[in-house]
Amino acid sequence: MNGYNFTMRVRKVLGHAREEAARLGHEYVGTEHELLGLLRERDGVAATVLLNLHADANALRDRIESIVKRGRSEPVGPDLPYSSRAKKVLEYAMSESRELNHAYVGTEHLLLGLLREQKGMAAQVLVDSGITLDAVRAEVQRVVGSAPDPNDRLGAMHAVGARSMTASIAPGRVGIVLGQARQLAAQRGASRVSDAHAAIALIAHGEGVANAVLERLGCDVGQLRSVLEALAPAEGPAATLRGRTPITADFQQMLEAAWHEQQTWHAPTMQTHHLLLALLGLNPDVAAAFEARGVTAAAFRAEAKRIAE
């Protein structure tokens, strides 16, 4: 992969692609299999982008199934080669990551690569369904794009209303993670969004620099998540405030600590590694859960610098 940091979620998608090729009796992984693998992953940024563009994942999958010709019925090996077009998709995904100044290749870049390749079955099915490269690129930039002027960020924290804070202060990937943290807290009947909720949501998100660092450090995220879930037990019946727990002073403190990390890194946007470093500094129990799996704040910071700078 030429030194690029493919996120855990992208690696999972590519594993799905190989499974889809084997299921269809094909002796190669093509763009159609890559798209089928991507459609199986419902939580990444690509899934959010497709949803925002009103794409019907089931309809896309059915369309591919109606076009593709099944291969031989006997089992095929697990190490299937990539077709030239499928390889080109990965090259384009890397290029899209570079052009967006991202330090990793996520599902959004893979989706862009599928469309940029143009001639493969995946691109044809997407375009025929009204999903164009320009539309996806614009939505990707909107979802994980630039934040407001960082010099105005701290003042804005105290100026915006609580319900708009995640969108105003933490747009893009961190905003998605914190929105998922609020939903998780609500599902558990929690009266506040805790640091543990945010850490669980970040791991479940599976993308961004933070998850790339955890993978590099050999962290067992499955075990880590189990420990974090014990730190955020269910408190009562699920909340009903639009499916999310209200923002409290603890949540604002979390955002402010992440903002300070962003300033330390001189970064134009708040990113997942800023959020996780904030969590490690704020909550000794969360920090201990990570340290028990070989992820200290110092080790995480050093590896994040290697990836992000």
pLDDT in tens, 208-252: 889 989 998 999 999 999 999 999 877 766 544 445 565 666 777
Instruction: Determine the pLDDT at residue 145.
Output: 56
Q: What is the CA radius of gyration of the chain?
A: 20
Confidence of residue 4 (pLDDT cuts 50, 70, 90): low
> What is the pTM assigned to this prediction?
0.57
Instruction: Determine the pLDDT at residue 164.
Output: 39
Which one, of 86, 128, 104, lies nearest residue 45 by Cα?
A: 104
The token duo for 27 is 């002796």
Query: What's the chain look like in SS3?
Result: CCCCCECHHHHHHHHHHHHHHHHCCCCCECHHHHHHHHHHCCCCHHHHHHHHCCCCHHHHHHHHHHHCCCCCCCCCCCCCCECHHHHHHHHHHHHHHHHCCCCCECHHHHHHHHHHHCCCHHHHHHHHCCCCHHHHHHHHHHHHCCCCCHHHHHHHHHHCCHHHHHHHHCCHHHHHHHHHHHHHHHHCCCCCCCHHHHHHHHHHHCCHHHHHHHHHCCCCHHHHHHHHHHHCCCCCCCCCCCCCCCCCHHHHHHHHHHHHHHHHCCCCCCCHHHHHHHHHHHCHHHHHHHHCCCCCHHHHHHHHHHHHC
Straight-line distance from the first to the last Cα atom of the chain, in angstroms, rounded to the nearest whole number:
19
How far apart, in whole angstroms, are the C-alpha atoms of residue 14 and residue 10?
6
Homologous superfamily assigned to 8-144: Clp, N-terminal domain (1.10.1780.10)
CB count, 10 Å around CB of 161? 8
Q: What are phi and psi of 29, to 5 degrees?
A: -105, 115
pLDDT in tens, 34-80: 999 999 987 778 888 888 888 988 999 999 999 988 876 555 556 78
Q: Give me the residue spans of the domains in the chain.
A: 8-144, 150-308
The token duo for 305 is 């610098």
pLDDT in tens, 132-190: 999 999 888 877 753 333 333 333 333 333 333 444 445 577 888 888 888 888 888 88
Is 207 a residue whose pLDDT tops 90?
A: no
CATH 3.40.50.720 fits 150-308, yes or no: no
How far apart, in whole angstroms, are the C-alpha atoms of residue 110 and residue 45?
10
Is 16 a residue whose pLDDT tops 90?
A: yes
Instruction: Determine the pLDDT at residue 146.
Output: 34
Beta-carbon contacts of 22 under 8 Å, excluding residues fewer than 6 positions away, are 75, 76, 78, 80
Q: Tell the residue number behind the tokens 């201990």, with chain if given.
A: 288
